[in-house]
Structure 1
């Protein structure tokens, strides 16, 4: 196996760089976290497009307390935080679920468990815990346990909240899944979406996983499961 560098975040807030070689994994460096705690634990990581003039790739992290940080990924040194911004994704209403860089807008998008969607510019050179500079967000149907983005579309789902696909520009749903028919005992099948991904780059095919160990495929164009 050729040299592969992985960036991971742990449950105490450390962002680590690991190297895979010859089927072995070794942590070669880790960021110097100001504090380690469950609240600072990393919920999600994603690559982002670097600003004009940047010389290296950047990635972003989302913590359990709703703080978004931007990191440099220079191979010769540990991950370095180059900006952070607090969001409202860790409120009494919901907890952070997922983070993604939406290339269609050159923005980061954060979803919390209550369905609140926040869009923000990647914080580079910012060090603030205030909710400053956040762009208008919209409300998706909650509760949310899983989310996936493709182009301008956001797909969400959760417990008793089946798959819904939103157009982030119009903030309106463009596809809403229906539950499967009753089982062989004529009992309603519980809804519990725990994973979502797009099956192709066109966005018309979506796959979900459930907390009941079911995998479901959806064809958005045909408006059917």
Structure 2
């Protein structure tokens, strides 16, 4: 399994608790879980990379266990009990060898390596997402149902460093409900983009005096469930419960394009760090990879289970590397076939000489 895992470019967690690796070029998927020990409580609810080299995948299960999968070895190497609070994991992160977890009930913990004591922060109930800052690993943002955006500095966890203010009342002078479903920090910035169950996309800038969003737009009329920033951070890709996926410009708040081919609620999206690609998965059991420039569906792989979350490798030559491996394997296979065949010589007729 180690050889298979090294060439997987997408890692996916399913409702059945299975960690799946996908070789995109071959359109092959591999299961890296022991089926004999799987239970419903091992449903994968959160995932993150264990290190900057992407050699480990951390898998958070509903039962409070965080499992470490080694990409090099092709197997799980560590099982850690990180239970505390109620509900599934809403986010995992790693900072300076410490594991950061957050569950739905609002209990955020920092598990320091080799230390039995943990830092515990109450970030508010009904959390739907926790994400780590890409530039400052000690900062995280959280949001949920009636739990508006907050940014926490885990080096000073007494109070949030930023607390968003709800938008103004609507045209009927009624309070606008809050329900953040996903969020992400902009690279090298404290700015945060969010999407809501009320089909809104909002951009916040903590460096400004105002605590309300500096940009707000909406997409269709169905709850948004996932988002991911494009590689240039000028646009955001969002998906909703109807399988509609769109690219929205964060500078002007306008719809740029829609991606097609979906048949169910989108659970997870991730754009490639440097290429115009986005990977997505959800309830229709398919992994899809689209080109964001021409909207073309590049890859579509059926994975049998309902899918919750995914990780896309940051390698820039994903398809080239996988195709080279495929070609080399085919060449070896052909050489073995030819070597096993008997030698045939032509008989020269001497009749008539």
- Scaled to the shorter chain, the TM-score interval is 0.7 to 0.9
Residue 111 of structure 2 is aligned with which of 111, 114, 120? 120
Asked if the contact 2:45/2:88 (under 8 Å) is kept, the reply is no
What is the CA RMSD across the aligned residues, in angstroms? 2.3
Q: Give the corresponding residue for 1:31.
A: 33
CA distance in structure 2 between the aligned counterparts of 1:38 and 1:160, rounded to whole angstroms:
29
**Which one has a bigger Cα radius of gyration?**
2
Higher strand share: 1
Q: For residues 56 and 148 of structure 1, do their structure 2 counterparts lie closer, same or farther at Cα, with a shift above 3 Å needed?
A: closer
Residue segments in structure 1 that go unaligned for 5+ positions in a row = 124-131
CA distance in structure 2 between the aligned counterparts of 1:166 and 1:14, rounded to whole angstroms:
32
The C-alpha deviation readout for 1:16-74, integer Å capped at 9, x for no partner, is 111101xx632134232452222101111111128xxxx98112110011101111002
Structure 2 residue 127 is the aligned partner of structure 1 residue 144: yes
Asked if the contact 1:118/1:134 (under 8 Å) is kept, the reply is no
Q: What is the CA distance between 1:134 and its match in structure 2?
A: 5.1
Q: For residues 200 and 166 of structure 1, do their structure 2 counterparts lie closer, same or farther at Cα, with a shift above 3 Å needed?
A: same
Q: Give the total of aligned pairs.
A: 201
Asked if the contact 1:155/1:166 (under 8 Å) is kept, the reply is yes
The C-alpha deviation readout for 1:105-126, integer Å capped at 9, x for no partner, is 3211100111111112469xxx
The C-alpha deviation readout for 1:168-222, integer Å capped at 9, x for no partner, is 01102100000011112222110001111012222x2100110011011000100
| TM-score (structure 1 length as normaliser) | 0.81
Equivalences for 1:95-174 in 2 at 5 Å? 95-102=88-95, 105-121=96-112, 133=116, 135-150=118-133, 151-171=137-157, 172-174=159-161
Asked if the contact 1:142/1:157 (under 8 Å) is kept, the reply is no
3-state SS of paired residue (1:59): strand
Q: What is the CA distance between 1:223 and its match in structure 2?
A: 3.7
Q: For residues 37 and 29 of structure 1, do their structure 2 counterparts lie closer, same or farther at Cα, with a shift above 3 Å needed?
A: closer
CA distance in structure 1 between the aligned counterparts of 2:179 and 2:167, rounded to whole angstroms:
12
Q: Give the corresponding residue for 2:183.
A: 196
Which segments of structure 1 move beyond 6 Å, counting only runs of 4 or more? none
